């Protein structure tokens, strides 16, 4: 049985590495496999991917992994040090287990990251491709709006939106997304300007394709790789912005175990009870570093200017 599986594995690998693809799907799958092999050779990128997979695993199985209820208070054991009686990372000012709150807090972080990674690139892709393809006054108006958003620091603009919308995790996600889309619009516009005059676009026009079909079927797929790289590299900034909003009390509201809010609570005890603020800070650092490492690896694999394809 193992010999049969090994033979099937080798035949699948040979099919994916074939020099001449037999169909469009075959070519697409072969390209993905080649990119995966290139990514596997990047040790740092795989380390980042491993950390992110571990964070996803922790978020999914947090109820099973957490040693205590993250909301349970025990004032008799408040601000206990690392390793105290079943609390590996100590307790906070209300006696809550820090490790359990970190594990549950990973859910909030991934929730924010996932929503922003969906909303912001889609907004930027739509605005950028319409601007680049239409040109003229449409391009001028959309790019000037983009410039207005780019003129403000992301955190300051996010604070303004949250102040207008109200505190809360959903409003924080919306505020971060509204500040994160302009760079994606710039990238999509640049890609569109490069593509729209190409021969295959002219051929598609001659076949009767309209602007919407050209943008969605022929321009968007060519912009995806650049956006994926930018999204991965931007996730560290998104995490820091979300933590900043939580630190200021404008993100996830108490008693939610949001990492930025945990740092805000622990800053009052940073000199005598350093672990209360340090542990969530290290969690933010590790996840941000993982996204940066993976983003660098994806840039090397997917960016034709980097890999010479």
Domains of the chain, start order: 33-307 (1.10.3720.10)
65 vs 44: CA distance, rounded Å: 27
Are 227 and 187 within 8 A, CB to CB?
A: yes
Mean pLDDT of 235-261: 87
Band of pLDDT at residue 279, cut at 50, 70 and 90: very high
Band of pLDDT at residue 287, cut at 50, 70 and 90: very high
Confidence check: pLDDT of 10 > 80: no
pTM listed for this prediction: 0.85
Band of pLDDT at residue 39, cut at 50, 70 and 90: confident
Lowest-pLDDT range, 37-41, 260-264, 288-292?
Answer: 37-41
Band of pLDDT at residue 164, cut at 50, 70 and 90: confident
Mean pLDDT of 148-161: 87
E runs forming strands in the chain? none
**Token pair 């997917």 in the structure block, residue:** 302
Q: What share of the chain has pLDDT > 70, as a percent?
A: 92
Confidence check: pLDDT of 308 > 70: no
Identify the CA nearest to 127 among candidates 112, 144, 110, 115: 144
């Amino acid at each position: 049985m193992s010999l049969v599986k090994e033979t099937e594995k080798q035949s699948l690998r040979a099919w994916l590495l074939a020099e001449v693809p037999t169909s469009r799907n075959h070519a697409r799958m072969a390209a993905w496999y080649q990119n995966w092999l290139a990514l596997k050779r990047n040790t740092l990128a795989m380390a980042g991917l491993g950390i992110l997979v571990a964070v996803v695993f922790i978020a999914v199985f947090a109820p099973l992994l957490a040693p205590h209820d993250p909301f349970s208070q025990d004032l008799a054991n408040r601000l206990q040090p690392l390793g105290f009686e079943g609390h590996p990372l100590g307790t906070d000012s209300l006696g809550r287990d820090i490790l359990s709150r970190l594990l549950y807090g990973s859910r909030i972080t991934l929730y924010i990251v996932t929503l922003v990674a969906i909303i912001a690139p889609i907004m930027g892709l739509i605005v950028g491709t319409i601007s680049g393809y239409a040109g003229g006054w449409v391009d001028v108006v959309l790019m000037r709006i983009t410039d207005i958003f780019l003129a403000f620091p992301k955190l300051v603009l996010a604070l303004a939106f949250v102040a207008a919308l109200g505190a809360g995790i959903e409003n924080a996600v919306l505020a971060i997304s509204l500040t994160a889309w302009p760079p994606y619009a710039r990238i999509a516009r640049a890609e569109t300007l490069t593509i729209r005059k190409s021969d295959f676009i002219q051929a598609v026009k001659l076949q009767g394709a309209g602007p919407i079909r050209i943008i969605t079927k022929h321009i968007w797929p060519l912009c995806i790789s650049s956006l994926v790289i930018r999204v991965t590299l931007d996730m560290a900034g998104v995490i820091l912005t979300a933590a900043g909003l939580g630190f200021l009390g404008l993100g996830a509201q108490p008693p939610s175990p949001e990492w930025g809010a945990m740092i805000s609570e622990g800053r009052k005890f940073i000199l005598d009870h350093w672990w209360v603020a340090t542990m969530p800070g290290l969690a933010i650092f590790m996840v941000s570093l993982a996204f940066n490492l993976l983003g660098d690896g994806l840039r090397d694999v997917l960016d034709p200017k980097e890999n010479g394809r």
